Amino acid sequence: MKNFWESRFLPLLFLLLGLVFSSLIAWKSALWIQETEQIRFQSASNHIASLIHKELDAHIQLIHSVAAFMNASNHVSREEWKQYALENHINEHFLGFRALGYAPLIQPSERLKHEQSVRDEGFPNYTVFQLNTSSTSAMFPITYMEPLSELNEKAFGFDLASEIIRKEALHQSFIRADATLSSKINLVQKYITDHQAGFLIFFPLYQNRDVPSSEEERLKKAKGIVYIAIDAKKMFEQLLQSNYILVDFEIYDGMTPLEQNLLYNSNPDLTVPRLSHYVSLEIYGKTWTIHFKAQNALEMNNSRYFPWLQMLFGLLLFSLLSGLIYVLQRTRKKAYAIAAEKTKLLAKSESEIRSIFQTMQEGIMILNDQGMIVECNLAAQEMLQLSKSEIVGNFSSDSKWSAVQEDGSVFDREERPSYKAFHTGLAQNNVIMGIKREDGSHLWVKTNAQPLYSDDFEKISSVLVTFSDITAYRKSKYELEKYLQIIDAHVIISSTDLHGMITEVSEAFCKISGYTKEELIGRSHNIVRHPDMPTTLYKEMWDTLKKGISWSGEIKNRRKDGSDYWIETIIEPRYNEEYELVGYTAIRHDITDKKRVEELSITDRLTGLYNRLKLDELFAHYLSIAKRHQALFSIILLDIDKFKSVNDTYGHQVGDSLLQEIAKLLKTNVRFEDAVGRWGGEEFLILLPNSNSEDARLLAEKLRGVIEAENFAYVGSRTASFGVATYHQNDDEKSMTARADEALYLAKESGRNRVEVEIHTCHLPSSSTLS
């Protein structure tokens, strides 16, 4: 072995091993970099495709919202259109946004009338213009546009159906009855030379709010189109500005990446990329082809040279090692001198260690094999409030520092960490002890005991005991646990995961719901959901929470025994240390008594329907909506036939029972948005928002038949008479109820068990107003 280390070929052998080892590491690194770059490139490509899809989804949501806005009223004025665009900040929140427009369907015979109506609105130069002037088919001229800026002014009045690409997208939109993307177009700009590549998103509007079932009917029932014009370059540049991505991309309209179909190129100078990948994106009736390209997919531009650098570094390292061996072989005689020097350094290190021993914040004691303390540091003296002379030379079991466990019982000598470490040879860790000091106070410490072996490792010569002061920590922990117990008992709290499954509940939650923790954990809150609560409330709640925003509201729940209770709820998203969303926490407040008081104030005590006071409030509310928006609104007034004879024959208790049964029939046979209440005596009033006279008549006939077919308790078959009235211009509560009352009187005079509709002689609103 001595001859081996002194051989002159030893440095050359190390150099050869270094060459082999460095080459292997460089080869493995090159493979790793290549695989990593492909993974990063694919990941970045998927991320870009996801961002594009997400941004287009945002535009689609916008156009759905615009279509809903247009369908919400029979006529949207230009000022309402402009106000809607301003309130939604569409020019700020949507990337690449150029214009939001509305184009009604205009037949050639209506062209002049349409142009004159727009001119009367303050646009004296408005004219419908077409690219194909010979076209005789229906037109879709841009009538509403926001922002109506100098940049977009040229498109005002442009017939979207006069250009083949826009016309084709229009046609597809009405057939699909959904949002549809157009093919690549040149956006119409203020100046002819300023053409920008872009595309349009169309959404169809039909004459009726319901979408026709067949494609033929959809084309016949077309009313108009809403659209969004998007500047492709602007959209994708803004998308890249908000996301740091190393990969570039080209987007082509269609399945084939042809130059004439190019929508956007993030890096035109990169024509021969090292990494390349094509993806087809199917979205809203169109296919886009995305060409992802990159010269480097890693942030380190020169990463492919790293294997060579590693190899060079390895060779240098092993060359240095070989040189070191060569030098060591030549300086063997100096080793003894170095050893002597190291001995001196060791003595110095021992002195430094002793200094560290004394300055450590943790208390330290060393006990011999008899359990006597032979050394301690300053921290131990300060914690025990004793001098070194009072500690060293005493036994750990001395009554000066009697120890107790956390439950207050005395620590037996055999249970002390130092004793167990010495007699078992195992380290004792994190043992909690309470040491009673001379002044009567308790020092609570977390103790560790480590056995120390003799030089021959055959027996334990001593034990090293370390301890840290946890008195303040233990006190704060106890107080925190007490507060948590109070919260658990009195605050209605629950936590869920991201899917809404309950992971933790308080005792207060169990108490109010009637369920145990075992019954709740692992289940969703549907276990206490009340059927009266609308699904839309929970959808709104989840939409808000998934955006990372807190939600609050009042919810009606059902206990395990079937009884109801109301809670005021605040739900907050819950994050982990890396600020990743991991679930939700809800804090609730019992408001059952408050809600019961509210219900009593608006409810008729006998029937459970709305009382006269609440009906008056709702009547005024629905009338204000009808007047402001020219919306439909009708009422039904009904009276139980020959009700007096029921009271006279069977008594008032049977009459009250009949009123309750009829109230239940009425409530279960009207729409959710309709309001039913007791108008007085045996009369009931039904408020029907968004219902015309015919809708109200049909509902009244349905209710008449339901009442006639019912076999009531005590009295058998009974009937009711109905009067129907509909909102007309300048109507108020008195005029509508007066006409409904007249119709009800006519039904009574005509033989009862009938539905009569009002006879109204005033002028109805014009068709242009209601359209």
Confidence band for 712, pLDDT divided at 50, 70 and 90? very high
| Whether residue 135 has pLDDT greater than 80 | no
| Whether residue 6 has pLDDT greater than 90 | no
Closest Cα to residue 68, out of 203, 172, 168? 203
Confidence band for 193, pLDDT divided at 50, 70 and 90? very low
pLDDT of residue 340: 65
- Could you give the CA distance from residue 490 to residue 588 in angstroms, rounded to a whole number? 11
DSSP H or E run through 222:
strand 222-231
Burial 235-253 (b: 16+ CB within 10 A, else e): bbebbbeeeeeebbbbbbb
What residues act catalytically? 682
Closest Cα to residue 160, out of 113, 106, 209? 106
pLDDT of residue 770: 26
pLDDT of residue 346: 67
pLDDT of residue 769: 30
683: which 2 tokens?
């009369």
Supply the Cα-derived Rg of the chain in whole angstroms.
43
Confidence band for 454, pLDDT divided at 50, 70 and 90? confident
Strand partners, 205: 224
pLDDT of residue 69: 87
| Whether residue 704 has pLDDT greater than 90 | yes
User: Do you know the residue count of the chain?
Assistant: 771
Measure the CA angle with vertex 370, ends 433 and 430; round to 5°: 25
pLDDT of residue 767: 30
- Could you give the CA distance from residue 549 to residue 630 in angstroms, rounded to a whole number? 36
Judge whether 759 and 725 are in contact, CB under 8 Å.
no
- Residue identified by tokens 């004025």 is 77
* Chain segment 526-543, per-residue pLDDT in tens: 999 998 787 888 888 999
Confidence band for 734, pLDDT divided at 50, 70 and 90? very high
pLDDT of residue 434: 81
- Could you give the CA distance from residue 252 to residue 273 in angstroms, rounded to a whole number? 17
Greatest CA span in the chain, whole angstroms?
134
pLDDT of residue 678: 95
- Averaged pLDDT for residues 35-54: 84
Q: Which of 394-403, 454-463, 714-723 has the highest mean pLDDT?
A: 714-723
- Averaged pLDDT for residues 600-626: 91
pLDDT of residue 333: 55
* Chain segment 308-366, per-residue pLDDT in tens: 776 777 778 777 777 776 666 667 657 656 666 776 776 666 666 666 777 778 888 88
Closest Cα to residue 532, out of 565, 571, 493, 502? 565
Judge whether 744 and 723 are in contact, CB under 8 Å.
yes
| Whether residue 672 has pLDDT greater than 90 | no
* Chain segment 232-253, per-residue pLDDT in tens: 888 888 877 766 677 888 999 8
pLDDT of residue 483: 76
Is residue 175 packed enough to be buried (19+ CB in 10 Å), middle (13-18) or exposed (0-12)? middle
- Could you give the CA distance from residue 410 to residue 610 in angstroms, rounded to a whole number? 71
pLDDT of residue 190: 42
User: What's the mean per-residue pLDDT of the chain?
Assistant: 84
- Please give the model's pTM, rounded to 2 decimal places: 0.40
| Whether residue 507 has pLDDT greater than 80 | yes
109: which 2 tokens?
């015979």
* Chain segment 276-291, per-residue pLDDT in tens: 889 988 888 889 999 9
Percent of the chain with pLDDT over 70: 90
Judge whether 145 and 155 are in contact, CB under 8 Å.
yes
Q: Can you list the pairs that 80-87 forms with residues at least 24 positions away whose Cβ atoms lie under 8 Å?
A: 81/144, 81/146, 82/146, 85/146, 85/147, 86/146
| Whether residue 699 has pLDDT greater than 80 | yes
- Averaged pLDDT for residues 736-755: 96
267: which DSSP letter? -
pLDDT of residue 703: 97
Instruction: Please indicate whether residue 626 or residue 237 has the higher confidence score (pLDDT).
Output: 626
| Whether residue 765 has pLDDT greater than 50 | no
pLDDT of residue 261: 86
Confidence band for 104, pLDDT divided at 50, 70 and 90? very high
680: which 2 tokens?
């007085």
Confidence band for 764, pLDDT divided at 50, 70 and 90? very low
